[in-house]
Amino acid sequence: MVAAIMDVGASGGYYVALAADTIVAHPTTVTGSIGVVMLTLNAEGLLQKVGVAPLAIKSGAKKDMGSPFRGLSDEERAIFQGVIDDLYGRFVALIAKERRIPVDRVRAFADGRIYTAQQAKDLGLVDRVGYLEEAVDLAKQAARLPEARVVMYHRPRDYRSNIYSGTPVPEPIQPSLLQLSSLLIGPGPRFLYLWWP
């Protein structure tokens, strides 16, 4: 299998590419961002200022940890950090195994930063810097096929850009206080293989 990283293949995008036998990155690719992040916010002080006191009825003491309506205790922070450390360890181990790079070397550069295609190649994260056509040629060679047809799938109603397309104008964002949490991080804490600049 050949993976072609064409634009941003950072964090979870790179994680998926690790399943390939060969990884080709476009010259303008941004990749890396190796790590795990959990994002939440604490609106407790803001809610107090406007006289709102959220209540949680829960089955266990930790059921609402990470809630945007209160801060984290030291114990809760340690629990989340433990999960993040485990997920990060899995990511690092997978890179070490699939890319044949010693774990301690992976840990040295897997601090969340992003890399250009050439930097990623120099680190051993990708095999080649090239374009989609080269990735298709490599896949044809590996499969011993004289010809191949590239099929690109799109979700229904997704914007499909091409060289004649204009830039789509995004809808203006008008967040309300209730939408702020989901706008920034989604509905509650999540562990993400995500590049979040």
pLDDT of residue 87: 96
Pick left, alpha or beta for residue 112 (phi over 0 → left; psi -120 to 50 → alpha; otherwise beta).
Answer: left
Pairing of β 191-192 and β 37-38? antiparallel
Contact status, residue 31 vs residue 9, Cβ threshold 8 Å = yes
pLDDT at 197 over 70: no
Q: Return the SS3 of 2.
A: strand
CA 149 to chain centre: 29
Encode pLDDT of 112-170 as tens digits: 999 999 999 999 999 999 999 999 999 999 999 999 888 877 777 776 666 555 555 55
E strands, 67-150, are 114-116, 128-129
Q: Which helix or strand (DSSP H or E) is residue 37 part of?
A: strand 37-38
Where is pLDDT greater, at 153 or 189? 153
Mean pLDDT of 64-77: 93
| pLDDT range class, residue 58, cuts 50, 70, 90 | confident
pLDDT of residue 154: 73
Mean per-residue pLDDT over the chain, rounded: 86
- What phi and psi values does residue 195 have, to the nearest 5 degrees? -85, 115
pLDDT of residue 192: 62
Mean pLDDT of 102-119: 97
Q: Return the SS3 of 8.
A: strand
Domains and CATH numbers, the chain: 2-152+182-192 (3.90.226)
pLDDT of residue 164: 57
List C-alpha distances in Å: 17 to 1, 22, 31. Answer: 10, 9, 11
- What phi and psi values does residue 128 have, to the nearest 5 degrees? -145, 155
pLDDT of residue 182: 53
pLDDT at 188 over 90: no
pLDDT of residue 173: 55
User: Which residues have a catalytic role annotated?
Assistant: 11, 63
pLDDT of residue 76: 95
